[in-house]
Amino acid sequence: MKTPKNYSFHVRSTRKELLMEYFLPLLAEFAILFLCILPFRFVKAAGPLIEEPSMVGRELTKPTAGRLGFGILAILLWLVFTHLASKAAEKEKHYTSSFLGFAAGILLWQFIGEISWHYSVGGVHFVPFESVTTFPVAILFILLMIYGKKHHSFDWGVWCMLMSFAFNWMGHYVMEGTYPFVASVFDQHTWYIGASAVSGILGFIYSIIFLLFRVKTRRGRIMASMLTYISIGVLMFGLMEG
């Protein structure tokens, strides 16, 4: 009778782990995304224009005072949240460090990817971070992540911040940053839908395989939830943009 009892306990424990360490963090990540996006949507058009709008790439800038104010707040919160995430990681507070790091990564993306390119210095604008012009930077960042992972250069809180930033960046880049390479073959609508669908579905499948067969720790399951988050996000973003 011992084997069935042990087996049933293992099944119940696994279900509880999946709920507490994968599904609930996944919901928390989307909630954090919503809490970061919602105030930005309200304030980005607030206040007067700081400078005249201009075309940067294929998009018209909107350098409002509200957008700039949110950007300054975002970068300050990024510093604070990353520091707190790192401190929580030292105490092995996995949930606290994960969610603080995740929020910090989104705030960093909002500052760099959504805000900075609307403003200029001496009349020269920053480059949209998801554009093809940042392709060398994207490659270097990926290599940095690989190096950091291999040599354990980052604590868990900082690692979550970097993953969150990378996931939001690459979620845009898989469509917008890669399109110029295939513009002679695909129209933009087709590429956005196809690239987001393929990468989103493959990413989702990998996240489930990673969850079920590769990880046995709380941090691993939280990481799997982040992989699922970006897979769903890429798919939804592609459908909206396409």
Query: pLDDT tens track of the chain, all 242 residues?
Result: 343 443 333 344 477 788 889 999 999 999 999 999 999 999 999 999 999 999 887 789 999 999 999 999 999 999 999 999 999 999 999 999 999 999 999 999 999 999 999 999 888 888 888 888 898 998 999 999 999 988 889 999 999 999 999 988 988 888 888 888 998 998 888 998 999 999 999 999 999 999 988 888 999 999 999 999 999 988 887 777 65
Burial class (CB in 10 A: 0-12, 13-18, 19+), 111: buried
Please name which of 175, 171, 166, 174 lies closest in space to residue 223, comparing C-alpha atoms: 166
Beta strands per DSSP E along the chain = 55-56, 59-60, 120-121, 124-125
pLDDT for residue 7: 31
Residues 6+ apart with CB under 8 A from 170: 138, 230
pLDDT for residue 70: 97
pLDDT for residue 12: 44
How far lies 241's CA from each of 189, 209, 237, in Å?
A: 8, 28, 6
The H or E element spanning position 180 is: helix 179-182
β-pair type (120-121, 55-56): unpaired
User: Distance between CA 235 and CA 238 in Å, rounded?
Assistant: 5
b/e 40-51 (16+ beta carbons within 10 angstroms → b)? beebbeeeeeee
How far lies 83's CA from each of 60, 106, 155, in Å?
A: 35, 15, 11
